[in-house]
Chains A and B, each alone.
Chain A
Amino acid sequence: MSTLMPKKSADNTPLEQRETMIECKDVNKWFGELHVLKNVDLTVKKGEVLVILGPSGSGKSTFIRTLNALEEIQQGSITIDGTTLTDDAGNIETIRKETGMVFQQFNLFPHMTILKNIMLAPIWVRKWPKDKVEKTALELLKRVGIPEQANKYPGQLSGGQQQRVAIARALAMQPKIMLFDEPTSALDPEMIKEVLDVMKELAGTGMTMVVVTHEMNFAREVADRIVLFDYGEIIESGTPGELFDNPKHDRTKLFLSQIL
């Protein structure tokens, strides 16, 4: 779980030439009268780590939740790994199988042990054989650094440990894309690092990741590209260097001055 691991060890082709994993065109969403997403256009390439920044209420969480149809959109189109999100339940199911999601509040299933939490979806949704799933689950727990907790219940774990289990649970489905919705916002400061370390390691393996976060150091270190949301639209987008050291838009400058 070293932070010194070379980035993108899995693939060295430049981002532009890789296949597209997520393509959003002209995405619009309203909550009643409130226009929460305005003409969002965004493309994420295979193996890219995209970090979404923005003040609270800017629509960044809503946006990431539209990517696996937890929120409906009213206009525009979202295509994930070649499958376009429509009302078709089959399409939604396909996309949800291929995208793992990690939530701010972990959302582990409190009535199951850690191991069962991880194994449930691969067994019943993917229909993979149980012994193989169990082996993978134990390996994943080792990878996120808590193999000894396999038979405990979520309530017996610390917040950081629970979030690491949530990551392992999402990874057990072997998704092509991982979505992180403020994964460290509900954690005590001393536990943030252990979760970020797992995410860094994951980025190092070449996983396509979309991360909504307030962790600026993580964004600077790990992101290939950062987009800044405000009032439901993308204000600015660029590499960490461009955005942090040389922001073009006034609202970006204001946002950065408030948090740095």
Chain B
Amino acid sequence: MGVNQADIMKETTVLQAPKKNRTVQKWLKDNMFSSWLNTFFTIALTILLFFLFKVILSWVLFSADWTVVSVHLKLLLAGQYPNAELWRVFLCIFLLSLLTGFSSGIWNGTMTQLGLFFAGLLALCLALPFVSVEAKIWNAASLLVLVCGYFGGKKLPLKKTVLFSWLMLFPVTIFLLSGFGILPKVGTNLWGGFLLTLLLAVVAIVASFPLGVLLALGRRSRLPAIKYFCVCYIEFIRGIPLITILYVAQLMVPLFLGQGIELNNAVRAMIGMTLFSAAYLAENVRGGLQSIPSGQYEASHALGFSTPLMTFFIILPQALRAVIPAMVGQFIAIFKDTTLVTIVGIIDILGMAQNVAKNPTFLGKEMELFLFVAAVFFVFCSMLSYVSRRLERSLGVGER
């Protein structure tokens, strides 16, 4: 029989999957007007949506008086940070832009999206008419350096330098903002507005991550002392409201520290938020640890790995990947929870909005102020969750 592979393959016909003809009319007919009932709902809902949007848009565009936001923009975003020292905040943004630009050039993908988001924010600041000239100049410089950084990053992939710079960015920011004796001191009592919100959130997220991972590992430890300490801590913190913790941090931390060490409000709130977030994060991470099949532990042991090496190289990377969505959810929650610090007398963006609303010249303008605050939070939170989805995809979580 002289039949070879190619001949056999010729016999089998290759069927193409049927192509879908997608025209607008057909889509409408299939999905919106397929029956009398559907047609009725389509029309009714269209009318409803039309009026809803009309009411909202006419209020936002014509009735609302946004001057309350534009006049107090600096207060809302940077609180009572002295105007003469505002250049330090802008310098921080400038450095952040530089690093973001470089990173998006080097890593592409998710980082590029972040870079675009950041560039969009800066461009928005340039476009708004009521932003001060100083801010515009600084933001233009930031935007420029972001774009330059992007092309620079493409040319020079200095991964290690950039990673190190990211690690250094946080202490540098804190140094710039507070001065620490070299620059004129700006006490944290003057930090406020969205600047403070961001700092609180970043500190809580960055500091609670290692703490949460350690607590999660500790909870699974075979040593009873460590295990029960972690269990008690996690369950205790999860059993009480964040507000309580914030009060406790304000009142108790100074007691514990004794005389001589003076921690201001903002730092105490940061400690409270970190301790709170760590407990929740620990439970998320524990979920990830439990999802690792026992075969991974056995294989690592069989290869001679000690428990610390195994945890670091094999278990944690897989566990953390598995819980990225839950962790980012926790980060978003903590970001929004920072608004609770108003209660202990710290003026974040929401607190500032409340204070501004009491200004007699702008009475009755709460709606505009709170909508602005909501928009700021919405933009940042949706950016976070978008990045998390990209991260999941690029790390290949769903597939495996």
A70 at the binding interface (Cβ < 8 Å)? yes
A110 at the binding interface (Cβ < 8 Å)? yes
Interface segment out of the listed A101-109, A198-206, A233-241, A252-260? A101-109
Q: Report the minimum CB–CB distance from B175 to chain A (whole Å).
A: 37
A242 at the binding interface (Cβ < 8 Å)? no
**Cβ–Cβ contact B302 & A124, under 8 A:** no
Report chain A residues within 8 Å CB of B318.
Answer: 109-111
A125 at the binding interface (Cβ < 8 Å)? yes
Q: A93-B306, A97-B304, A124-B309 are in contact. Are A109 and B296 (CB under 8 A)?
A: yes
Q: A110-B318, A124-B313 are in contact. Are A103 and B301 (CB under 8 A)?
A: no
Q: Which of A51-84 contact B (CB under 8 A)?
A: 68-70
Report chain B residues within 8 Å CB of A93.
Answer: 304, 306
Give Cα distance in the complex from A62 to B345, angstroms.
Answer: 63
**Cβ–Cβ contact B321 & A111, under 8 A:** yes
Give Cα distance in the complex from A126 to B305, angstroms.
Answer: 10
**Cβ–Cβ contact B302 & A100, under 8 A:** yes
**Cβ–Cβ contact A169 & B298, under 8 A:** no
Q: Report the minimum CB–CB distance from B391 to chain A (whole Å).
A: 14
Q: Report the minimum CB–CB distance from B396 to chain A (whole Å).
A: 8
Q: Which of B278-307 contact A (CB under 8 A)?
A: 293, 295-296, 298-299, 301-306
B11 at the binding interface (Cβ < 8 Å)? no
Q: Which of A26-45 contact B (CB under 8 A)?
A: none
**Cβ–Cβ contact A70 & B302, under 8 A:** yes
Give Cα distance in the complex from A69 to B299, angstroms.
Answer: 12
A120 at the binding interface (Cβ < 8 Å)? yes
Q: Mark each residue of chain A from 124 to 151: 1 if its CB lies under 8 Å from any CB of chain B, else 0.
A: 1110000000000000000000000000
Report chain A residues within 8 Å CB of B317.
Answer: 111
B399 at the binding interface (Cβ < 8 Å)? yes
**Cβ–Cβ contact A120 & B304, under 8 A:** no
Give Cα distance in the complex from A97 to B309, angstroms.
Answer: 14
**Cβ–Cβ contact A96 & B302, under 8 A:** yes
A170 at the binding interface (Cβ < 8 Å)? yes
Q: A103-B298, A107-B296, A111-B318 are in contact. Are A96 and B303 (CB under 8 A)?
A: yes
Query: Which of B295, B309, B400 interacts with A103 by CB under 8 Å?
Result: B295
Smallest Cβ-Cβ distance to B320: which chain A residue: A111
Query: Which of A69, A105, A155, A173 interacts with B303 by CB under 8 Å?
Result: A173
**Cβ–Cβ contact A121 & B399, under 8 A:** no
B314 at the binding interface (Cβ < 8 Å)? yes
Q: Report the minimum CB–CB distance from A260 to chain B (whole Å).
A: 31
Q: A105-B295, A107-B296 are in contact. Are A125 and B305 (CB under 8 A)?
A: yes
Q: Which of B105-151 contact A (CB under 8 A)?
A: none
Q: Mark each residue of chain A from 163 to 174: 1 if its CB lies under 8 Å from any CB of chain B, else 0.
A: 000100110010
Q: A105-B295, A110-B318, A111-B318 are in contact. Are A121 and B305 (CB under 8 A)?
A: yes
**Cβ–Cβ contact A124 & B305, under 8 A:** yes
Give Cα distance in the complex from A97 to B306, angstroms.
Answer: 11
Report chain B residues within 8 Å CB of A103.
Answer: 295, 298-299, 302
**Cβ–Cβ contact B299 & A107, under 8 A:** yes
Show 21 residue pairs from A and B whose CB-CB distance is below 8 angstroms, ordered by the A residue: A68-B302, A70-B298, A70-B302, A93-B304, A96-B303, A97-B304, A101-B299, A103-B295, A103-B298, A103-B302, A105-B295, A107-B293, A107-B298, A107-B299, A108-B299, A111-B317, A121-B305, A124-B313, A125-B304, A153-B396, A155-B399
B residues within 8 Å of A by Cβ? Answer: 293, 295-296, 298-299, 301-306, 309, 313-314, 317-318, 321, 396, 399-400
| Beyond known contacts A70-B301, A70-B302: 15 more, CB 8 A cutoff | A68-B302, A70-B298, A96-B302, A97-B304, A103-B295, A105-B293, A105-B295, A110-B318, A110-B400, A111-B318, A125-B303, A153-B396, A166-B299, A170-B302, A173-B304
Cβ-closest 5 pairs across A and B: A107-B299, A101-B302, A121-B303, A107-B295, A96-B304
